[in-house]
Structure 1
């Protein structure tokens, strides 16, 4: 897909907009090119297709424990030996029968060399495996009707036992891991059903790494009279009739602000993994383990830790089905249940117009309310998918990281999660104000031909009409004296309403009114803003054009102040020195220093906080077959942490994940999973069974990541091979200078208009 920068935005509408505003609006479209290009010939899944369900798929509850085991080093070139562990003891014949129901056979007893390590290191079904010494495998001698073959874990070889003995069994898992691409035709025939407590029965399918249950509705479609209203609870329907969970649900409506240059429908399908629609409140569950929730004596079993991902994209773009968020490797290596979600975007997710329309009718913050509804669904139903509702970690990047901040601020969400991983949140900028949100909401009504108080009128318009009006309303709001809002990191942001979000995060940290009990892990990539720099300034800026080029870049002439610091001194021998230094300075101002300051504040409130910087990563566009952004060469740009976080560098058939890329992904995943399981990113011996592969990764066990104590900026630095800890590093001095001379946007442009002092 070939899209020029000049096509992405309507210049007539945005000519007065601040440079960084333009960059942030164009960024998601540029990223879409990278995501979409290698998939342009793929048959995109559609939620509108006829049911793909096969007959006689087994019900997970009847199997009483079925688990996918794999020693996954994330390297595309390493041979994989996946197996299915049936934890319920059965006779040989019954074990073989269950394997057959799953479309498999018992594991070949002539090739068991991999089993000892696999069964000793897995973090999946460890409570079952602890009690198991022997497991059924395929008979070496089929002529005997009374003697069958079992694998003896202690001896590491096979033994012959009476076939009537009841043992767990090991089945083959013949499927490849999930990929997308021009010639990929995913085998969805190996299906299984799950009955949930409150959502009905779903039939999904399996691949090498996980059971996949896709397109599960967690709220009623927000259409018609439910448009612009909070997510409404959905009824489960007939629990005896399985719902199709083999296809991703619709992606939410995308807001491109491109003046009519949107990618076509096919291209969008590839970018998002699904077609877009207002009927989009779906989630996807990926699990390595479907287990009985109770033992034979009725004792309740603990499930696997759950990680719920909130995607980024400026609150305007992407979906939980976007290929880069494919979690198979995270699920398999980490031994966790992963949930990805869709939530309403753009004006569909942030409409409000107070006081003309009171909050009793249009509450606002719909995107965050959707996320909370998905979290509530997890609390109600995830145990059926092998997950532990008491051990939920939320994580997200960019706007997803911003969402983490909102969920840390919304009291109604506090009991729904335990740990938070926030990647690349623009912590130097505040939440939005009702006044600015109402400018867009009021403008939307105007362009729809509705009165400022007529919500019903807006609910009766088509989605296309809303999108068209949204573009005009957004441009108006930014062009009439509000350009500085764009410089703070996005048009759509969570809005302070005094109730759902009682205050800006900086104020909530100061007063201790955020979720202090949550364990927090957050950080940034070393060169965040560099991804957007060519969109802001396409070409190097001559030194004699500095003042003109930077005028209005940040309000109060703060961009000029930045260059008075020795830390950002211009190098006259470098023809691109202005963009190079500005890249460092804006990354500090919006990401790095804001994160360190908020780390200091939350540590002062006795939260458990771990802070990082990524000095290595993998560019999304180059990994997925697109061109590498030239300005990002030698840098670690915004989104370069996505692939390592999921281990998704091999999700397309054109891409691989080998060598140092696989090693780095192992390091990131193992740290994040350890944190999700224990609230601490450092493996310990007492958690060895729980941690599995993470507890045996020397790149992780060899360096202790210290908790942020507020006394010094103790920062964990992710490196390609040997990560390290920095204390009182160079960025600390730069941040001290910024705080004294420039100040953060959340200070000088707080939503209530009052200056916010630093805390602590």
Structure 2
């Protein structure tokens, strides 16, 4: 594998939400530029003729005993759940480009008895047609999942069947075979033709709203015209749609490098989603639980097509349908300038509105892809976690999901307000040469002109004294507009006006702030220079007060003690402590809340990051939970996911998908070895009970081995911080009024 691709993957892992003008990105990317890379996509593209329709097969499911370990042999199969005579089953396998499976497939009995993908279908039958190794014409071979043996039955008996699945898993930048295609007809979005790989059916680049270009720029996402993709038209779902326009952030990449980095080209025409499903149901069986992912990146960068979000292992091991989506970012997604431009002309909160539009699409169409629209979990990391906070705060979204997983949301930082958001927009308008009220002027500018103008505007904005407190990775945020979102999340939790019915899982990594420390302090700081450097880089007495508190003492024997202490204090301040506070408040409101800290991650001790982002070596930094969540450590060729990394990913996937199915991260112990509960067979999951949040402050510590629950571990320092330092959401909330701490 080219070294440049490993380096680029390290950038993805370490930079889930890099700050504006990042000093982390520059040295990495300068090395990236110097490499002679073979960045290309050799995938076979385009639609194949005469692809079968899922409705005609009436139940097709991809089975795989997936331990998410790259080195473990895999034996994927296809289950045809509709009973047919032998010859008809054989014909369907042939139509799919496969053969009837061998009865000697390793682990066949175990696979059938424990599949999370087609548990309901498998329960309905004990026998399945397999390859007829006897060559008989009247007697054919069936496999009995109860006994594990084969038997000869009349070929006219109707049984479900097992086909081979010869397609490899998808990897970026390789010759992925997209020829095994299949069509799905949706109720409201037309017919889409995607393809199969080892783990999933992939339907990519499906629009969920009209293109937000021209007069639709800065407008609410508009529902699609049904005729555009309907009328018996077969639409191509074999390629990702455009990534939403990125804010450069010092990433001086060529367009080719950007394409590889994002997994797609950039455009404002980006309101697309992707559906990854292991099962296309027969229309009568209950659908699988659905997990809708919102990517992070500070509302400025990244896309659903980024290889780190490759969900094949999550889909097949978890037995869930995963939807990833793109949404407008930076000024394109958070444009508002009231009162100069009224909300009737530019409503604002477009990023959140896009996410809601995608969830509406899921509600209307996901059943066609094997999903259950009544069992939707939304999840996201960093700005994706922030998006979870926005969706928990927006009443119009409440009926579109049941569970929420919020990863590494800097929950200390409040939502924005019209004055704050309008100031950035107004500065951008000035840079464009447009009057503050001239929406048409901004709509007529090119994408590049707006991107350049907002870059200048941000530089001006951050130099203003009143914005000193603002973290540069959190300039763009959902806004309390009194329309979509009525109050800051902290105030909504106090009053019980967030989505209290949703089951909530949220948490952080052990060393979140470590990813950002080198941006602020690129070099080691001598202990004697601590106060002077803090004052120079962070002119805020609260920061110095926090660092000099009883809980964050420097160690004179540690040459990097200032940055290490700053990292620990910042992690607690922006993540650990405010999550504890919000958990306490939500528990008071009778919400089911589960709180965690990840004590392991991918990219912290591995060769991918070591020597590149040295400060995070040995830490579990911001973004190090992305790969375990998706099991995407082998998304690029030559990069594997084995050993502890695979084991940890199994644990995270099992907890997250169990929560997505039940609203509770604990597997059903009574299920035992039944095919309803794969997670119950994972001792790392089944042996530790994760309690709901209560007054004892239970926090689940994810680790490779010996994950455990700790109680009241951080209460003292968090109470000290609340009393002596105060949180940003208390001091800088949208209303400008001080928000009291929860009891």
TM-score (structure 1 length as normaliser): 0.92
Contact 2:278 2:315 in 1 (8 A): yes
Q: Deviations over 1:478-536 (max 9, x none)?
A: 21224324238511011111121100000000010000000000000010011111111
Show structure 1 runs of 5+ residues with no match.
9-20, 295-300
- What CA distance in whole angstroms lies between the structure 2 residues aligned with 1:513 and 1:306? 25
2: distance between equivalents of 1:532 and 1:637? Answer: 9
The equivalent of 1:71 in structure 2 is: 65
Tell me, yes or no, if structure 1 residue 122 matches structure 2 residue 115. Answer: yes
Aligned residues of 2:23 and 2:522 also touching (Cα < 8 A): no
1:718 to 699, 702, 712: 702
For residues 316-327 of structure 1, the aligned pairs below 5 Å read: 316-327=300-311
Residue 615 of structure 2 aligns to a residue whose secondary structure is helix
After superposition, the Cα gap between the structure-2 partners of 1:534 and 1:148, relative to the gap in structure 1 and judged at 3 Å, is: same
Q: Which residue of 2 aligns with 1:11?
A: none
- What count of residue pairs does the alignment treat as equivalent? 727
Return the alpha-carbon distance in structure 2 between the equivalents of residues 103 and 35 of structure 1: 44
Q: How does 1:150-229 map to 2 (within 5 A)?
A: 150-181=142-173, 184-229=174-219
For residue 28 of structure 1, report the CA deviation from its aligned partner.
8.7
Label 1:71 to 1:31 Cα distance change in 2 as closer, same or farther (>3 A): farther
> Pairwise mapping of residues 372-451 of structure 1 onto structure 2 (< 5 A)?
372-451=356-435
**Alpha-carbon spacing, 1:588–1:691, altered in 2? closer, same or farther (3 Å):** farther
Aligned residue in 2 for 1:12: none
Structure 1 partner of 2:263:
273
Q: Structure 1 residues 631, 725: CA separation in 2 closer, same or farther (over 3 Å shift)?
A: same
User: Which is worse superposed, 442-451 or 168-177?
Assistant: 442-451
> Secondary structure in 2 aligned to 1:267?
helix
- Runs (5+) with no aligned partner, structure 2: 12-16
- In the alignment, what sits opposite 2:22? 26
Superposed, 1:278-357 pairs within 5 Å as 278-294=268-284, 301-357=285-341
Structure 1 equivalent of residue 739 of structure 2: 756
CA contact 2:668–2:677 (8 Å) conserved in 1:
no
Verify the 8 A CA contact 1:40 1:270 in the aligned structure 2. Answer: no
Q: What is the CA–CA distance in structure 1 between the aligned matches of 2:269 and 2:337, rounded to whole Å?
A: 23
Is 2:36 aligned against 1:42?
Answer: no
C-alpha displacement of 1:759: 1.6
Contact kept in structure 2, 1:45 and 1:274, CA below 8 Å: no
Q: Output the CA distance in 2 between the equivalents of 1:157 and 1:249.
A: 46
Shift in CA distance, 552/746, structure 1 to aligned 2, threshold 3 Å? farther
**Structure 1 residues 468-477 or 660-669, which shifts more?**
468-477
State the Cα distance separating 1:572 from its structure 2 match. 1.6
Are the equivalent residues in 2 in contact too, given 1:440–1:477 (CA < 8 A)? Answer: yes
Task: Find out whether 1:136 has 2:129 as its counterpart.
Answer: yes
CA distance in 1, matches of 2:177, 2:406: 34
CA–CA distance in 2 between the matches of 1:698 and 1:444?
Answer: 54
1:283-320 deviation line (CA, Å, top 9, x unaligned): 000000001112xxxxxx31000000000001100000
Q: Would you say 1:147 and 2:139 are equivalent positions?
A: yes
Structure 2 counterparts to residues 530-679 of structure 1, below 5 A: 530-551=514-535, 554=538, 556-619=540-603, 622=606, 627-679=611-663
Question: Is residue 2:693 matched to residue 1:696?
Answer: no
Counterpart CA distance in 2 for 1:626 and 1:276 is: 30
Counterparts of 1:626 and 1:96, CA distance in 2: 51
Deviations 1:227-265 (CA, angstroms, capped at 9, x unpaired): 00010011233342211100000000001243xx53111
**1:198 and 1:380 in contact (8 A); partners too:** yes
Q: Distance in 1 between matches of 2:697 and 2:327?
A: 35
Q: 1 CA distance for matches of 2:231 and 2:604?
A: 41
Distance in 2, matches of 1:239 and 1:651, equals: 37
SS at match of 1:567: coil
Shift of 1:552: 6.0
Distance 1:462 1:157 in 2: 66
Displacement, 1:548? 1.7
Distance 1:30 1:681 in 2: 40
Contact 1:521–1:611 under 8 Å retained in 2: yes
1:522–1:612 Cα contact (<8 Å) kept: yes
Show the counterpart of 2:100.
106
Moved more, 630-639 or 518-527: 630-639
Q: CA deviation at 1:452?
A: 1.0
**Structure 1 residue 45, shift from structure 2 partner:** 7.8
Cα offset, 1:372, TM superposition? 0.4
Q: Which runs of 4+ in 1 moved over 3 A?
A: 21-25, 27-40, 552-556, 620-628, 685-692
Residue deviations 1:711-754 (CA, integer Å, cap 9, x gap) = 1211100111110010111x222111111111100111112211
2:292 aligned counterpart, secondary structure: strand
**TM-aligned CA distance change 1:402 to 1:167, over 3 Å:** same
- Which stretch of structure 1 is more off in the superposition, 222-231 or 482-491? 482-491
